[in-house]
């Protein structure tokens, strides 16, 4: 018999993917250049040349076994050593290779982090607006995702709601900063307050509440924005990193789990991840990409286009009367729609080939997300369609 959980999921496919497929199909009719497709967070800037050159060099110098044999189950030891050293240098941490576990992107990292600290029935809290894939990430482990309503004025944390929702079943809290979809970075003040509450509630309930920090956008922070390293503020933090966005290589599936050395159970967690992998069939990311990122840990793609695009869109949207919290990073912006029903709003925008994602699946109705990881030239051309849409429809 087929498992009903997955059968049911077929009729609730990702809104983002559906809209992206629509944009591609529309592109076949009118030319993709004429479709202002703001749906997918698929980085458009190229991978840095240094990464490609490293891969070429590895292919021409390493043995077949080193490149194509089974990698150690926690990741290649030299790679883990280099990741730990880079984090220590940049963020003043004390990781060793024993705190690092190589994964297939942030998704792979989160799959392990959740299984380290929750069992079926436990609650995991996250904050709206949130990445909709957290639903399957959490719920398919058997734990239950609970979403704290947004603070729509700032998209920092709604602490009042958070404190009322945390309870003895809360085993983990998941944060994502810089945030998809709001583009907001949690401030030092926010992270400190969060850490204090977690410390106090852990004491109250007699067990550690772990913080899972999902950080694929950690390197995409705009000029002058306060974007602290989360693990520095709370010992029981499991950081989930991805190179998908910072090096523009989401198809390569590479990231890691970094366990705060002071986290309860820190000495066992990376090896436990190795055991979790056996059960979920994750195994290690490919050796070639592990070795390639290890040589380029302090490098990012040229991401200046994202800040440029953000400024253009933010200025235009606010000029047109949209309420919008200015993003501090990522390549997303999350304005309030011009009517309460964001789905209807985005449907109308589609008539102008301006395609954004309504916010309902992000747990924060009445907004829409634009993923502006596209060329500045296209962003600029899209403004006329946006202006016509607003003028004619509202």
Ligand X SMILES: Cc1ncc(COP(=O)(O)O)c(C=O)c1O
Q: Which residues bind ligand X (CB under 6 A)?
A: 41, 105-107, 131, 176, 180, 214, 216, 242, 244, 250, 255
The nearest distance, CB 245 to ligand X, in angstroms, is 7
Query: Toward ligand X, which CB reaches closer, 331 or 389?
Result: 331
Query: Toward ligand X, which CB reaches closer, 176 or 290?
Result: 176
The nearest distance, CB 303 to ligand X, in angstroms, is 15
Nearest to 264 by CA among 308, 325, 211: 211
Query: Toward ligand X, which CB reaches closer, 39 or 176?
Result: 176
The residue at minimum Cβ distance from ligand X is: 105
The nearest distance, CB 107 to ligand X, in angstroms, is 3
For 227-232, which contacts have Cβ atoms below 8 Å and span 24 or more sequence positions? 227/177, 227/178, 227/185, 227/186, 227/328, 227/329, 228/186, 228/187, 228/188, 228/191, 229/90, 229/91, 229/93, 230/175, 230/177, 230/186, 230/191, 231/91, 231/93, 231/258, 231/260, 232/91, 232/92, 232/93
Q: Are 172 and 194 within 8 A, CB to CB? A: no
Query: Toward ligand X, which CB reaches closer, 187 or 213?
Result: 213
Structure tokens given for 58: 């590895």
Calpha distance 270→38 (Å, rounded): 37
Query: Toward ligand X, which CB reaches closer, 162 or 217?
Result: 217
The nearest distance, CB 109 to ligand X, in angstroms, is 8
Both ends of the chain: CA-CA distance in Å?
A: 50
The nearest distance, CB 89 to ligand X, in angstroms, is 23
The nearest distance, CB 216 to ligand X, in angstroms, is 5
Query: Toward ligand X, which CB reaches closer, 17 or 268?
Result: 17
The nearest distance, CB 237 to ligand X, in angstroms, is 16
Question: Omega of the bond prior to 178 within 30 degrees of 0, cis?
Answer: yes
CA distances from 240 to 47, 108, 182, 215, 250 (A): 21, 9, 19, 6, 15
Query: Toward ligand X, which CB reaches closer, 40 or 390?
Result: 40
Nearest to 127 by CA among 191, 189, 218: 191
């Amino acid at each position: 018999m087929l498992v009903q959980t997955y059968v049911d999921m077929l009729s609730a496919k990702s809104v983002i993917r559906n809209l992206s497929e629509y944009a591609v199909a529309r592109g076949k009719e009118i030319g993709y250049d004429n479709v202002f497709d703001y749906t997918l967070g698929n980085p458009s800037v190229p991978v840095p040349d240094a990464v490609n050159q490293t891969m070429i060099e590895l292919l021409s110098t390493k043995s077949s076994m080193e490149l194509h044999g089974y990698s150690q189950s926690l990741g290649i030891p030299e790679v883990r050593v280099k990741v730990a050293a880079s984090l220590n240098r940049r963020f003043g941490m004390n990781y060793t290779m024993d705190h690092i576990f190589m994964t297939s992107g942030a998704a792979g990292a989160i799959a392990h982090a959740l299984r380290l600290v929750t069992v079926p029935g436990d609650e995991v809290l996250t904050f709206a607006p949130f990445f909709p894939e957290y639903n399957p990430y959490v719920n398919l482990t058997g734990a239950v995702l609970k979403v704290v309503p947004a603070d729509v004025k700032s998209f920092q944390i709604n602490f009042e709601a958070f404190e009322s929702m945390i309870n003895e079943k809360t085993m983990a809290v998941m944060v994502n900063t810089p945030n998809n979809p709001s583009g907001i970075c949690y401030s030092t003040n926010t992270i400190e307050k969060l850490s204090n509450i977690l410390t106090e509630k852990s004491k109250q309930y007699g067990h550690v509440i772990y913080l899972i920090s999902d950080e694929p956008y950690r390197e995409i922070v705009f000029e002058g924005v306060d974007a602290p390293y989360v693990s520095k503020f709370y010992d029981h933090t499991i950081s989930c990193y991805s190179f998908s966005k910072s090096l523009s290589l989401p198809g390569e599936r590479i990231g890691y789990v970094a366990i705060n050395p002071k986290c309860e159970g820190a000495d066992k967690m990376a090896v436990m991840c190795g055991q979790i992998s056996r059960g979920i069939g994750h195994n290690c990311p490919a050796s070639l990409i592990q070795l390639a990122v290890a040589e380029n840990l302090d490098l990012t793609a040229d991401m200046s286009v994202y800040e440029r695009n953000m400024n253009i869109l933010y200025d235009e949207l606010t000029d047109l009367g949209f309420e919008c919290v200015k993003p501090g990073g990522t390549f997303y912006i999350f304005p309030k729609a011009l009517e309460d029903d964001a789905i209807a709003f985005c449907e109308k925008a589609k008539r102008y080939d301006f395609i954004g994602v309504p916010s309902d699946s992000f747990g924060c109705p009445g907004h829409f997300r634009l993923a502006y990881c596209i060329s500045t030239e296209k962003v600029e051309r899209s403004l006329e369609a946006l202006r016509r849409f607003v003028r004619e429809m509202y």
